[in-house]
Chain A
Amino acid sequence: MQKSLPSPHDGRPPPVEVKRLRKVYREVAAVDGIDFTLREAAVTALLGGNGAGKTTTISMLMGLVIPTSGEARVFGADMANERHRVLHRMNFESPYVDVPMRLTVRQNLEIYGRLYGVLDLKAAITTTAEELRLADLLDRPYGKLSAGQKTRVSLAKALLNEPELLLLDEPTASLDPDTADWVRSKLEDYCALRRATVVLASHNMAEVERLADRVIMLERGRVIADETPAALIQRFGRSNLEEVFLAIARRAPTGEEERR
């Protein structure tokens, strides 16, 4: 099922537009002809089991992976060929990608601030550090921080340029419930304030229910559901998204899926 949303962008290109996007590694289609358009100021969750194609899709949205066919456009720019037009308007956070361990938090933020061309960088670092409770950690090496502190630094790096499009890959993985809740609150605040578009890949269904306006569920590289979390829960007759996810993951594959 693929949903085409109306585009309330006053003629401006939508933040994200994916058309017949496909990525094949050797013989295997990691992403297999998906389409979706994301509107401004909305949080969209990409869901799916391991190997469903979430990371490959996000990588193509960042321009780190070139599609085999189809297009991934961000603010109108084809990310395979003209990504440098828009990279400063987006950012990315993942616990699986670090910043340099030996450098202090301040040095890391300074470097990324310069790469993104943040003006009045000193003030921006101070403000972001205060907002993310990093002020006391600014002069400590990133490698000596706890997992929760590292996530906050990673988030600070991701918000430093105040991106219009934020790509989050399991932003609260390996965090304790309190820190995870705090991170979600910060993301909600940021999105509300900046009207940012967010793409969230997560295995935490409670997180998705809380943050996402829309869920795109992937399986074997294809979109198998695209609707609001509430509509998805209702359609499957379950009480929460976790049950829906399990129901989809454990159902027997159809004949066509088997052939794929």
Chain B
Amino acid sequence: MRHERQAPRLREQTTLAASAGRIWGMILRYWYVIRSSWPRTAELIYWPLVQMLMWGFLQRYLASTASFAAKAAGLFIGAVLLWDILVRSQLGFAVAFLEDIWSRNLGHLMMSPLRPIELVAALMAVSFLKLMVAMVPVAALAYAFFGFNVLSLGLAFAAFFANLVFTSWSLGLVSTGVVLRWGLGAESFAWLIVFVLLPLCCVYYPVATLPGWLQPVALALPPTYVFEGLRAIVLEGSFVAALMLKAFVLNVIYFGLGFAAFAYFLQSARRHGTLVQMGE
């Protein structure tokens, strides 16, 4: 070993800079995984692209046969792009976390100085990064193929985007918490949780389409307001700010609940000893 070894030179651990350093370390960890495998990068784009093409062609067909669809140009394709923002962001969060379980790395992470809130911050950042990798090319292709420019929605798009990403993080927190507690046996939960919302948050149809007893459930979900907002813009040309505000308030509540659930499941995993048994 080195013979003139100095005392360890470690950063002061409690500072904001130290915390930022740990978060950056985790972002790099996930970024290196994405970068190391082009099939993984292609996979990020694959499903949004397939969905966008299918709904785009369907809308083109309907526009030639039905006056409503002709009037609502961009409705389906806009809805599918927004839905994919929710799905890709949630999966980006959950799959990044699953990477550490698949690679049997969780034990090292959990006994490192990384704090749970820093892990969550890194997962949020990585889900955003993956979302960009997936959605920017797909949005560009939607414009190239179907003339639908998502940026033409302007500030409304920013509000839609922010609310959907916010919802996806809450879902990501709950799903990773469940996997922390119950291990890979609960992995499918992380993959499927977001699809429960598909029929409930009225992606392709108005809330009024749902039976009366189900409408309150839909209205308790932030994405419902986003898709109602999209229809208001495409069909009526008006941006309803109140819808976005309701979605945001609900998102703040759900994010708080999601983080509480994550912290509870982590503590429960430490009580039950499941953190040390996790891996493929």
A30 to B113, CA, bound (A): 26
A114/B107 in contact, CB under 8 A: no
Residues 61-117 of A at the B interface (beta carbon under 8 Å): 62-66, 80, 84, 87-88, 90, 92, 94, 96-103, 107, 110-117
- Shortest C-beta distance, B268 to chain A (Å), equals 10
Give per-residue flags for A111-130: 1 if the beta carbon is below 8 A from chain B beta carbons, else 0. 11111111110001001000
**CB-defined interface of B71-110 with A at 8 Å, one 1/0 digit per residue?**
0000000000000000000000000000110011101111
Residues A119-149 near B (CB distance < 8 A): 119-120, 124, 127, 131, 141
- The answer to whether B32 and A98 touch across the interface, beta carbons within 8 angstroms, is no
- Interface size class of chain B, counting residues whose CB lies under 8 Å from the partner chain: 35 or more
A107 nearest in chain B by CB position: B32
- Does chain A have a CB within 8 A of B22? yes
Across-interface contacts of A117 in B (CB, < 8 A): 10-13, 18, 21-22, 113
CB of B144 to closest CB in A, whole Å: 33
User: In the complex the two chains form, what is the Cα distance from A241 to B242 in whole Å?
Assistant: 75
Find B108's partner among A97, A107, A118, A127 (CB 8 Å cutoff). Answer: A97
Please tell me which one of the listed residues B5, B9, B115, B267 contacts residue A118 in the complex, with CB atoms under 8 A apart.
Answer: B9
Contacts of A243 in B (CB 8 A): none
Comparing B23-31, B192-200, B224-232, B257-265, the segment that makes contact with chain A is B23-31
* Residue pair A193, B21 in contact (C-beta under 8 Å): no
Q: Which residue of A lies closest to B8 (CB)?
A: A162
**B94 → A minimal CB distance (Å):** 17
Choice from B5, B33, B272, B273 contacting A193 with Cβ under 8 Å: B5
A111 and B104: CB pair below 8 A? no
Q: Are A100 and B103 in contact (CB under 8 A)?
A: yes
Interface members, chain B 182-209 (any A CB < 8 Å) = none
A144-171 contacts to B, CB under 8 A, are: 157, 161-163
Cβ-based interface call for A56 (8 A): yes
B105 pairs with A97, CB closer than 8 A: yes
CB within 8 Å of A: which B237-280 residues: 267, 270-273, 275-276, 279
What's the minimum C-beta distance from B128 to chain A, rounded to whole angstroms? 19
Is A55 at the interface (CB under 8 A from chain B)? yes
Residues in B whose Cβ lies below 8 Å from that of A56: 273
Q: Chain B: which residue is nearest A80 at the CB level? A: B270
- Complex CA–CA separation, A90 to B8 (angstroms): 12
- Residues of B contacting A190 in the complex (Cβ-Cβ under 8 angstroms): 1
Report B184 CB to chain A, min CB distance, Å: 15
User: Which residue of A has the minimal Cβ distance to B36?
Assistant: A102
- Best-surrounded residue of A92, A102, A120 (most CB of chain B within 10 A): A102
> How far is the CB of B271 from the nearest CB of chain A, in Å?
5
Tell whether B114 is near chain A: CB-to-CB under 8 Å: yes
Task: Answer whether residue A222 sits at the interface, using C-beta atoms and an 8 A cutoff.
Answer: no
* B271 engages A111 (CB within 8 Å): no
When C-beta atoms are compared, the residue in chain A nearest to B1 turns out to be A189
Closest partner residue, chain B, to A65 (CB atom): B273
Would you mind naming 22 contact pairs between A and B with Cβ atoms under 8 Å apart? A62-B111, A65-B271, A84-B115, A88-B113, A98-B103, A100-B29, A102-B37, A103-B36, A110-B25, A111-B26, A111-B28, A111-B29, A113-B25, A114-B24, A114-B28, A116-B112, A116-B113, A117-B18, A117-B113, A118-B8, A162-B7, A193-B1
Q: For the complex of A and B, list the 6 residue pairs with the smallest distance between their C-beta atoms, beginning with the closest.
A: A114-B25, A117-B11, A162-B8, A189-B1, A97-B107, A98-B104
> Which residues on B are within 8 Å of A, measured CB to CB?
1-3, 5, 7-13, 18, 21-22, 24-26, 28-29, 32-33, 36-37, 99-100, 103-105, 107-115, 267, 270-273, 275-276, 279
* Chain A positions near chain B (C-beta within 8 angstroms): 23, 25, 30, 55-56, 59, 62-66, 80, 84, 87-88, 90, 92, 94, 96-103, 107, 110-120, 124, 127, 131, 141, 157, 161-163, 186, 189-190, 193-194
Not counting A98-B104, A131-B2, A161-B10, a sample of 19 additional A-B residue pairs whose C-beta atoms are within 8 angstroms of each other reads A63-B111, A64-B110, A65-B271, A88-B13, A97-B105, A100-B105, A103-B36, A110-B25, A111-B25, A111-B26, A112-B25, A114-B24, A115-B112, A116-B112, A117-B18, A117-B21, A119-B9, A189-B1, A190-B1
